[in-house]
Amino acid sequence: MIKKPKGCEDIIFSDAKKIKYIENIIDEVMEKYNYNYIDTPIFESTELYHRSVGEVSDIVTKETYDFTDRGGREMTLRPEGTAGVVRSYIENKMYGMADQPIKLYYNGPMFRYERPQAGRDRQFSQFGVEVLGSDDALVDAEVISLAYNIYKMLGLSNVVVNINSLGDTESRDNYRKLIVDYFTPHIDSLCDDCKRRLDSNPLRILDCKVDKDSKIMKNAPKILDSLNKKSRKHFDKVCEYLDVLQVPYSINSSIVRGLDYYDHTVFEFVDNSMEGNANVLGGGGRYNNLVNELGGRDIPAVGFASGISRVLLALESEEVELDIRDDIDLFLLYVNDTEKNYALYLAQELRMSGFIVETEYLNRSLKAQFRQADRLKSKFISVLNSNDLDNNEIKIKNNKTKEEEIINLDALIYYLEEKSTDEVLEDIYNLDN
């Protein structure tokens, strides 16, 4: 038997419904914030990711799926969304459009070759936003609040924002020297990844998950103390705007993010109801130099990304029940071929009118069809009868109250609409009382 690849999952049934629900919330929020959807290729030139993500980042050195296509071109399955969006921004000359800044969002599969664990798969879905064309701290705050509000709308109540600043190039260069000088005498006490990062990317030592609680790490110089006046002003304005937006946040100087293109604001969303690294639902930051590095103009930008699987774990951890419908409106039962033909016709008419309708596909007995209707939690059932149909009538049974009515077929749609409205009003009344 052929099985799915390691680190990949079949998203089916209830999990699939949850993901579609989350995606609908994302789309609704993005529309309100006036972000446009973008869909970039799942694979791109390897050079794009190696240049943007950084040759020394863990993603490039350990995790990318690289391959050579039949034309001899080096390609990579996308490990993250930002690089492809920036490439599209440059290639499609979005910087020349009248409406600025350009506000985009995406939602789709990403690929990283890493050890599968909770909330970390080799193929995973990720949604995110990118705002290109503004260096205003207001945009940083909006991007953070947008993500926070999505989590909030999903019912998550234990999400906090951790925020830091890496400063501009001058600030980071000064801090890099401090970090190297500080960690060099202690490096033998740290993990192998930290030893490797000391020369290649010393700021990433601060993001170490192995030694994060050690005294060496806790006593390390804080980057906020190395910010120049311009960088400090930007960070203070971001915090001010978050206060205006009533987004709770904590300043966490250990946040540096795992991608090399970040500068100034960096942030993460953490669900405090969860333990371990899977409690980080998403994160992002500002990347003012990336567009230029990929061959574009000197364009400032900021964005974030969040894993769908991490959100699902948070919903489970907080015991949030999503408002997902698990029933149907009507199940049509039949006995003979004439009634079967009409069930086919009527099901289509009702579906096109917005109702969820099912009928029998396995030619089972009426008793078995009733059981199927119950399994599908059908609100109403109807046993089609040739005599009733000849009289342009249909018998409807409320599967909850067990009441039966015979109504005119021409009034069926109005009947189902009225009953659905009554049920909604009853639910609201019960909630209020």
Residue pLDDT tens, the chain, 433 long: 999 999 999 999 999 999 999 999 999 999 999 999 999 999 999 999 988 765 545 556 578 999 999 999 999 999 999 999 999 999 999 999 999 999 999 999 999 998 898 888 999 999 999 999 999 999 999 999 999 999 999 999 999 999 999 999 899 888 888 888 988 898 888 888 888 888 878 887 887 778 777 888 888 888 899 999 999 999 999 999 999 999 999 999 888 775 667 889 999 999 999 987 789 999 999 999 999 999 999 999 999 999 999 999 999 999 999 999 999 999 999 999 999 999 999 999 999 999 999 999 999 999 999 999 999 999 999 999 999 999 999 999 999 999 999 999 999 999 999 988 767 556 555 555 5
Distance (Å, rounded) from C-alpha 391 to C-alpha 307?
Answer: 56
- Bridge partners, residue 406, by sequence: 395
Note the pLDDT of residue 187.
85
Give which of 293, 286, 255 is closest to 54, Cα–Cα. 293
The whole-angstrom separation of Cα 294 and Cα 90 is 8
Domains of the chain (ranges, CATH numbers): 13-168+228-317 (3.30.930.10), 179-223 (no CATH), 328-432 (3.40.50.800)
| Cβ–Cβ under 8 Å, residues 26 and 150 | yes
DSSP state of 59: I
Cα–Cα distances (Å) from 51 to 58, 76, 81, 290, in that order, read: 13, 12, 14, 9
Q: Report CA Rg, the chain.
A: 28
| Token representation of residue 273 | 């109801």
Kindly compute the dihedral angle of the four CA atoms of residues 207, 212, 214, 220, in this order, to the nearest 10 degrees.
30
pTM of the model as a whole: 0.90
Among 221, 219, 239, 237, which residue's Cα sits nearest to residue 229? 237
Kindly compute the dihedral angle of the four CA atoms of residues 203, 208, 214, 220, in this order, to the nearest 10 degrees: 10
pLDDT reported for residue 195: 84
For 324, the 3-state DSSP assignment is coil
Phi, psi of 301 (to 5 degrees): -160, 160
Angstrom distances, CA of residue 181 to CA of 201, 202, 313: 13, 10, 40
